[in-house]
Structure 1
Amino acid sequence: MTYQGVLTKMQTEFGNPIQYYLVFEDSFLNVNQLLDKEIEISFAGFQCLNCQKKKKIFRQGFCYDCFYSSPAVGDWIMRPELSTAHLGIADRDLEYEQKAQLQPHVVYLALSSEIKVGVTRKSQVPTRWIDQGATQAIAIVEVPNRYLAGITEVALKDHYADKTNWRKMLQCTAEGCDLIFEKSKVENLIPAEVKEYFYSQKNDLYELNYPVLNYPAKVASLNLDKTPAFQGKLVGIKGQYLIFENGTVFNIRGSEGYVVNINV
């Protein structure tokens, strides 16, 4: 059977293990059902996630023009401390930014390739942690806007990583740790204006189990620009990556906006 459509990040359902879905315009695919089976992925074109035009993807599923104009990819997305909607100041579109920034956000510690600090909207718990391939995660603070979450993350970057090493995450080589203990250490490290939001009595530790039959000893990334057709046996799904038997991994989120054919 062949599925065709524009790649967007896999939708997920928290469970044991996590369930993954590729959703296209006219169909969807439960990717877990493809484990231990041969599948073929082939490149069929581009479609910008913003303007829908068949233009080459520049970054994050957007064409060049949309990447530099859409409020959905403003600098505050990757750097929450640059958020200004709480001041009534627009970056690209104040109405959009107020909806996105002026809502509850969580700062967290997660174990993926190592302990890292991060920010997510409260509505994206635990989806954000699943997308990063974290095996454990715990919230530190819940704040009313993205700016406060951003300055908290900045304060903790001197003590924890703020990015995931995707190779180590996929090889599952992270050493075990006690995130509840780590959380207890950060109360004195966060900014004064955030201390009232610290989760002092709440220690909800998330454990995340991924559908992986075998972790690769070495990984090689599949790039559809260089390899427009690939076939292999799927042995795992973690983060937003498909893991194949030969160590090839395919980053679905990194290929958003690519139109593909998937034969199963």
Structure 2
Amino acid sequence: MTYQGVLTKMQTEIGDPIQYYLVFEDSFLNMNQLLSKEIEINFVGYQCLNCNKKKKIFRQGFCYDCFYSSPAVGDWIMRPELSTAHLGIADRDLVYEEKVQLQPHVVYLASSSEIKVGVTRKTQVPTRWIDQGATQAIAIVEVPNRYLAGITEVALKEHYADKTNWRKMLQNTAETFDLLEEKAKVERLIPSEVQEYFYAQKEDVYQLHYPVLNYPGKVASLNLDKTPSFQGKLVGIKGQYLIFENGTVFNIRGSEGYIVTINI
């Protein structure tokens, strides 16, 4: 059976294990059902997720022109402390930025490759943690806008990583951490203007389980520009990665905007 479409990040559904879905315009695949099966991925072309033109993808599923013009990929996305909508100041499009920035955000600690600090919109809990391949996560504060979340993350980055080591995450070699103990250390580290939002009583630690049959000893990343056709047995899914029996891993989110065919 053959499926064709533009890659976007896999949709997920919390469960034990987490369920993954690859969604195309006219069809979708429950990726969990493909575990232990041979699948073939073939690169067909590009389609920008913003303008829908068949233009080479530059970054994050966008062509070059859209990456430098769309408000959906402004600098404040990766650096929330640069958010200015709360001041009524536009970066690229104030209407869009108010919609995204002026809503509840959560700052969290997560364990994936090591303890990391991160920011996400409240509506993206626990999706954000799943996308990062976290096995545990705990919310620290819930603030009313992205700026306050951003300055909290900046303060905590002096003590915790803010990026996931994707190789360690996929090899499942991270240590086990006591996130409740780590959270207790954090209250004195967050900015004074965020202190009132600290989750003093909330102690819910999310435990996340992924559909992985075997973790690889070594990993090699599949790049469709360099290897336009690949075939292998799927043995796991974690974060936004497909894990194959031979140690090849394919980052779906890193290939957004690529048109592919998938043969099963």
Q: Which residue of 2 aligns with 1:255?
A: 255
- 1:158-208 deviation line (CA, Å, top 9, x unaligned): 100000000000000000110011001000000000000000000110000
Q: Which residue of 2 aligns with 1:50?
A: 50
Q: How does 1:105-254 map to 2 (within 5 A)?
A: 105-254=105-254
For 1:245, the aligned partner's letter is E
**C-alpha root-mean-square deviation of aligned residues, in Å?**
0.2
CA distance in 1, matches of 2:24, 2:174: 34
- 1:105-160 deviation line (CA, Å, top 9, x unaligned): 00000000000000000000000000000000000000000000000000000100
CA offset at residue 93 of structure 1? 0.1
CA distance in 1, matches of 2:221, 2:20: 20
CA distance in 2, matches of 1:97, 1:29: 33
For 2:223, the aligned partner's letter is N
CA distance in 2, matches of 1:158, 1:50: 35
CA distance in 2, matches of 1:169, 1:33: 22
For 2:18, the aligned partner's letter is I
Q: Which residue of 1 aligns with 2:92?
A: 92
CA distance in 1, matches of 2:105, 2:172: 28
CA distance in 2, matches of 1:241, 1:178: 26
CA offset at residue 251 of structure 1? 0.1
CA distance in 2, matches of 1:63, 1:158: 34
- 1:73-93 deviation line (CA, Å, top 9, x unaligned): 000000000000000000000
CA distance in 2, matches of 1:79, 1:120: 12
TM-score (norm 2): 1.00
- Give the 4+ runs in structure 1 shifted more than 4 A: none
CA distance in 2, matches of 1:138, 1:34: 31
Does residue 14 of structure 1 match 2:48?
Answer: no
CA distance in 2, matches of 1:91, 1:14: 34
Q: Secondary structure at the match of 1:110?
A: strand
Q: Which residue of 1 aligns with 2:25?
A: 25
CA distance in 2, matches of 1:2, 1:182: 47
TM-score (norm 1): 1.00
CA offset at residue 229 of structure 1? 0.1
For 2:136, the aligned partner's letter is Q
Q: Could you list the runs of 5+ residues in structure 2 that have no partner in the other structure?
A: none
CA offset at residue 52 of structure 1? 0.1
For 1:234, the aligned partner's letter is L
CA offset at residue 217 of structure 1? 0.2
Q: Secondary structure at the match of 1:188?
A: helix
Q: Which residue of 1 aligns with 2:68?
A: 68
